[in-house]
Amino acid sequence: MTKMKFGTKKVLVSAAALALFQLTGCASGPSFGDMMSSKASSIEGYSEEWKKGAELIEDGEDLLKDGEKAIAKGQKEINQGSELVREGTAQVEASRQAYRQLSTKAGQSRDAAAISKEAEKLKEVASNWKDGDADVVKGNKLIDKGNERINKGQKKIQEGNDKIVEGRALKLESEKKYQDSYGQS
């Protein structure tokens, strides 16, 4: 084996150059820690996106429930209002018939007591008629209120469905990004 003589200066310069090359090589590419941190940040981003999607779905489901309750309450108000209108209309019709009967006999009374009795009957008929009209008005207002409540319920359901669709899309998108990045399901 032959001994080669290297100058001390050449060896030191070569060692220093090699060390500098290794340090520079490490500095130019991401370190393992940097890669892990980057991967963790990506996963956290996908996780946040997925959680946002899940929250949108939950909010949407709450809106669906609220909308369904509003529609049910609105339908109940419409039914109650319709019943009031029906009863009020029947009361008005009965009062009209009673008035027609009384009006055919009106003016036939011969004394003050009979006239007074006739007037009382007419007042009773008028009061019933007025109550029937009031029930019709009240019933129609209740129907209008029920229809408004149903419209609001339908809007909540639409908004809820939109949020659910958006939430599902966010979740699927975050899952796809994760799978594309890391090849896992």
The domain that contains 135 carries what CATH number? 1.10.287
Domain hosting residue 104, numbered range = 50-182
In a domain, 18, yes or no: no
pTM of the model: 0.69
pLDDT in tens, 94-120: 999 999 998 888 778 889 998 889 889
Mapping DSSP onto H, E and C, the string for 34-85 reads: HHHHHHHHHHHHHHHHHHHHHHHHHHHHHHHHHHHHHHHHHHHHHHHHHHHH
Residue 43's Cβ-count burial label (10 Å; 0-12, 13-18, 19+) is: middle
Count structural domains, the chain: 1
* pLDDT 10s digits, 16-47: 444 444 544 445 677 766 666 677 777 788 88
